[in-house]
Amino acid sequence: MPLSITEPIAIICPDAGAPESSLKAVLSFFGSVKIGRPWFMDQPVTLLQSGVVEVFRPPQDLKPSGDFKALLAEYRGWVRTSRDRGFDALLAFKEQESRGEEATWEIRGELRRKGSRPEENRGRNALKWNLFLHLAHEIQEEGREAEELLKSLKKKDSPLKGVIEEGDLPGPLADLPEREDPLMLSELGMAQVLEAWFSLFQGHLSEETVLLTLRPAIFQRLCDTWEEWAEGPAGAEMEFFVPDFSRLDLQGLLEAKGRFMNSGEGVALKEALVKFLKGHSEVSGEKANAVEPRGLKEPKTLIRLRRFSLLERPSANEIVRHLSGKTIGLIRERHTYGE
């Protein structure tokens, strides 16, 4: 039976949003982007009205009861007073009763306990998982704002410009390095965000979508978790370059992408990706050489994929069980031609 050649779908993992430029970079190749959001997160999503970006929620039985927003506001204020401990301040939140709901948390023990969580515990943990993702989203947005501020400050001229006879004087902050990943979580914090994300959205994940992250640390964490806990075949990897049309408006982007995807190279790349997602790729246990379409004059994006094999036996690690048979991806924006 011939493979169905359709544009692949990306699910952003584990973020609850992304800048417009990043979404456009993803849409330069993927047919649509889906974003999972916890209950009661109501901030606008860029490009949502376009029809190519979709938001989905956890199932109804994982919707916290009571006044969740009031609880979030109360907890947010508490975290602000413990900022020196960052995300790991969650571990010090020993016990909390939510309004309208009897829920006693033993967070310290819960988060450090490895192994599976019985299905009947999902509802009891829903409040915690939703809270984790809300807090992680706020930390990430603050990190992005700080990075944008740093970039603008680095562009400022030296206060000595025009005063002394020198050539191009660098600004006072020009040499400050930019962080690759603005959201810096500890190992434990990152693990809990991933566990919360997979636990809330597992019903939306399929083997033919790509769980796409914009952050190398997340991609590496998922790969490392699989290597540590999974048994059986290692799966396969694939890298390829695609044009980056994110500088265009959305209509121009879709038209430019359509021309590329209907070209001979675009069709061949899409067909190779569909085979990869369906597990029909000949590459196994190793990484395929990066594929770069000839004559690609546009700015380009590097996409790295890792497809995990189906587990031969259940893993003790919950994240690994969710990754079984799935494909994760990392997108790296703005590689210039010939780089």
pLDDT-wise least confident of 24-28, 98-102, 151-155, 209-213: 98-102
Cα angle 232-238-241, degrees, rounded to a multiple of 5: 165
What gap in Å lies between CA 253 and CA 232, rounded to an integer? 41
Tens of pLDDT, residues 135-190: 888 888 877 666 667 666 656 655 555 555 555 655 555 555 555 555 556 777 78
Closest CA to 319 of 115, 128, 126: 115
Tens of pLDDT, residues 230-242: 987 778 999 999 9
Q: What is the DSSP string of 262-299?
A: TSHHHHHHHHHHHHHHTT--S--SSBPPPB--TT--S-
Which residues are registered as beta bridge partners of 300?
243, 335
Look up the pTM and report it. 0.77
What gap in Å lies between CA 237 and CA 222, rounded to an integer? 14
* Phi, psi dihedrals of residue 255, rounded to the nearest 5°: -70, -45
Interacting residues of 49 by C-beta distance below 8 A, sequence separation 6+: none
